[in-house]
């Protein structure tokens, strides 16, 4: 399907510099090319990235002009114009490296490690090679140094020579900036059109002019694919950070952007690609939860609290979906509220949950109780500013919520009004002026009637889930869970009938059944 003789068609129109001549014609075979199966070592499920075309993929031009294996000493120089600076190209003298017969750019291996696309220029001084600032920073060379350059064969590293997907960090290159958010899908298409056919590797830095604003980009990881195989065994490709892992950018390549934490750039979520982190861990099994009699409750929690986080961030924004930020679990003591909250944190693909008991928030010093509430949300606020919609989920588990969130004006906290101010601080963090979409607060209480009504409205703790006493089937599940080790070690008598025990323990809570065992 894809080979050295079945290569790229005409160069796509985009932000980059036009080539000296048009590239080769599209592949002669008329059958549409099929997208290859990406193979990954990561546990993340493959997803379509940015800039992917529905049409068939293309290859890249073979190296030409300079004989393979023959190197030369060149001195770095500044780029002759913006076409080379923002096109990630290096200019060389046509006397040093003759132009290729088909007018395509030549791949150069610099210092045995770094690969760039070179374009011969008749007016460029002999014995020099133009390198812009990001290129010199990436390679660790100065204008006074001398580099070793030789032609590079992109197929020398084996069949996986094409770019499947790559993660790119983007930010403003200089003082010129804008507050207008960048659509990641549009940015991805422009990236592919600008740098099509070029070779990229982890750690590489480059400049791109998008809407007359210079952007600085850094390649974080790449995933390489074999475009000639339509299927391959799982696990034969990987997400790589090795600078020697190089791939040719094609129209089929996926570009996943992330925000540079040091830049004020604003990225809109993609409408095609799901969030970077899936909601539920891929290796999760419900059987590992160790919770019995709460299947319906778990189903309702996931349907109401996590379904919206499955949508791509850009699509969720377009249709106006607001993520659930809070869940309230209430019910009699011993029914498994705390256990549910603990296990939800384990099953989600998020950071380790922050667990806090309500009375621990209160402090004898004035203002310290409110400060404790702010500290709970500090990490989520910081990551929201750095990554925006690509921020991961932060889970806060608040046990005994009624201890600090009593009805305001009821005299909670004594004459100082600490209870009221703690409630106010929590309300402002959950749904204040600066909204956080990367948090999930799970509150638990035995006394829902004591909690302030403002905390229970939609936008705050909007999902209310009653955890009641288990029915007969639930009690039998709980008995099976608590007798698992006995049965595995052969310590439980054969005449023990768990079904009969479940019938005779009516109105028992989960904690009471555990005590019975």
Which CATH number does the domain housing residue 101 bear?
A: 2.40.40.20
26 HSE (CA, 13 A, CB side): 10
pLDDT over threshold 80, residue 504: yes
| 506 is a domain residue | yes
153 or 69, greater pLDDT: 153
| 412 is a domain residue | no
Domain boundary at 235, 268, 301, which? 268
pLDDT, one tens digit per residue, over 294-308 is 777 777 877 787 777
Let me know whether 318 and 206 are in one domain: no
Q: How far is CA 155 from CA 23, 115, 275, in A?
A: 19, 13, 33
Let me know whether 232 and 358 are in one domain: no
**83-99 mean pLDDT:** 91
pLDDT of residue 111: 92
pLDDT of residue 230: 35
Structure token pair of residue 339:
């256990």
pLDDT over threshold 60, residue 71: yes
| 65 is a domain residue | no
| 433 is a domain residue | yes
CA distance 417 to 279: 39
The CATH code of the domain that includes 356 is 3.40.50.300
Let me know whether 220 and 133 are in one domain: no
Domain boundary at 86, 120, 151, which? 151
The label of the residue with tokens 């659930």 reads 324
pLDDT over threshold 60, residue 61: no
Let me know whether 333 and 238 are in one domain: no
| 279 is a domain residue | no
312 or 413, greater pLDDT: 312
Let me know whether 127 and 213 are in one domain: no
Which among 9, 50, 48 has a CA at the least distance from the CA of 28? 9
| 247 is a domain residue | yes
CA distance 322 to 316: 8
Let me know whether 304 and 207 are in one domain: no
- pTM (predicted TM-score): 0.57
| 132 is a domain residue | yes
Let me know whether 293 and 345 are in one domain: yes
Output phi, psi for 290, to 5 deg: 70, 30
Let me know whether 125 and 210 are in one domain: no
Least confident interval from 56-70, 256-270, 455-469: 56-70
Domain boundary at 268, 300, 333, which? 268
* Domain span including residue 504: 472-516
pLDDT of residue 129: 94
CA distance 52 to 48: 7
Let me know whether 305 and 444 are in one domain: yes
**34-63 mean pLDDT:** 39
Let me know whether 332 and 300 are in one domain: yes
pLDDT over threshold 80, residue 49: no
pLDDT of residue 288: 60
pLDDT of residue 386: 75
Output phi, psi for 328, to 5 deg: -115, 120
pLDDT, one tens digit per residue, over 103-151 is 788 999 999 899 999 999 888 999 999 999 999 999 999 999 999 999 8
| 326 is a domain residue | yes
Write a three-state SS string for 183-212: EHHHHHHHHHHHHCCCEECCCCEEEEEECC
The CATH code of the domain that includes 210 is 3.10.330.10
Least confident interval from 30-39, 327-336, 461-470: 30-39
Let me know whether 213 and 298 are in one domain: no
Structure token pair of residue 456:
């229970």
- Beta pairing partners, 328: 443, 464
Q: Hey, what long-range contacts does 239-245 have (CB within 8 A, 24 or more apart)?
A: 239/40, 239/41, 239/42, 239/44, 240/202, 241/202, 241/203, 242/202, 243/113, 243/114, 243/201, 243/202, 243/203, 244/113, 244/157, 244/201, 245/201, 245/202
CA distance 50 to 288: 36
Let me know whether 82 and 186 are in one domain: no
**Number of folded domains in the chain?**
4
């Amino acid at each position: 399907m894809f080979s050295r003789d079945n290569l790229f068609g005409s160069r796509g129109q985009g932000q980059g510099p036009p080539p000296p001549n048009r590239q080769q014609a599209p592949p002669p075979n008329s059958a549409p090319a099929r997208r290859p199966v990406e193979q990954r070592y990561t546990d993340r499920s493959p997803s379509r990235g940015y800039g992917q075309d529905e049409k068939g993929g293309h290859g890249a031009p073979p190296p030409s002009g300079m004989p393979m294996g023959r190197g030369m000493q060149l001195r770095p120089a500044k780029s002759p114009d913006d076409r080379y600076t923002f096109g990630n190209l290096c200019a060389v003298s046509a006397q040093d490296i003759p132009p290729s017969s088909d007018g395509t750019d030549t791949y150069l291996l610099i210092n045995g490690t770094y690969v760039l696309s070179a374009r011969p220029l008749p007016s460029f001084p002999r014995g020099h090679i133009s390198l812009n600032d990001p290129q010199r920073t990436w390679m660790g060379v100065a204008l006074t140094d001398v580099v070793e350059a030789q032609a590079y064969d992109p197929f020398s590293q084996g069949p996986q020579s094409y770019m499947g997907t790559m993660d790119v960090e983007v930010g403003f290159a200089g003082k010129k900036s804008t507050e207008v958010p960048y659509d990641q899908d549009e940015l991805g298409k422009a990236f592919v059109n600008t740098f099509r056919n070029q070779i990229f590797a982890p750690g590489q830095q480059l400049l791109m002019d998008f809407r007359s604003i210079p952007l600085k980009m850094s390649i974080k990881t790449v995933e390489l694919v074999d475009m000639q195989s339509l299927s391959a065994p799982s696990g034969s490709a990987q997400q790589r950070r090795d600078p020697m892992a190089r791939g040719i950018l094609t129209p089929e390549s996926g570009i996943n952007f992330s925000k540079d934490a040091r830049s004020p750039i604003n990225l809109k979520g993609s409408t095609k690609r799901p969030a970077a982190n899936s909601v539920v861990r891929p290796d999760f099994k419900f059987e590992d939860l160790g919770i019995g009699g709460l299947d319906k409750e778990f189903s309702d929690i996931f349907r109401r609290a996590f379904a919206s986080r499955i949508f791509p961030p850009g699509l969720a924004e377009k249709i106006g979906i607001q993520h659930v930020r809070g869940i309230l679990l209430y019910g009699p003591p011993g029914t498994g509220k705390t256990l549910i909250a603990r296990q939800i944190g384990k099953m989600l693909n998020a950071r380790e949950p922050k667990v806090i008991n309500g009375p621990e928030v209160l402090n004898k010093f004035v203002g310290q109780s409110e400060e404790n509430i702010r500290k709970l949300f500090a990490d989520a606020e910081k990551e929201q500013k750095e990554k925006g919609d690509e921020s991961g989920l932060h889970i806060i588990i608040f046990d005994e919520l009624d201890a600090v969130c009593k009805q305001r004006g009821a005299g909670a906290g004594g004459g100082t009004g600490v209870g009221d101010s703690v409630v106010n601080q929590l309300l402002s963090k959950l749904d204040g002026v600066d909204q956080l979409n990367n948090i999930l607060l799970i509150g638990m209480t035995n006394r829902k009637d004591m909690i302030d009504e403002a905390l229970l409205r939609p936008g705050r703790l909007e999902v209310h889930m009653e955890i009641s006493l288990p029915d007969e089937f639930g009690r039998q599940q709980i008995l099976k869970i608590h007798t698992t080790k006995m049965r595995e070690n052969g310590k439980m008598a054969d005449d023990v009938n768990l079904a009969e025990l479940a019938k005779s323990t009516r109105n028992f809570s989960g904690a009471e059944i555990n005590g019975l065992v």
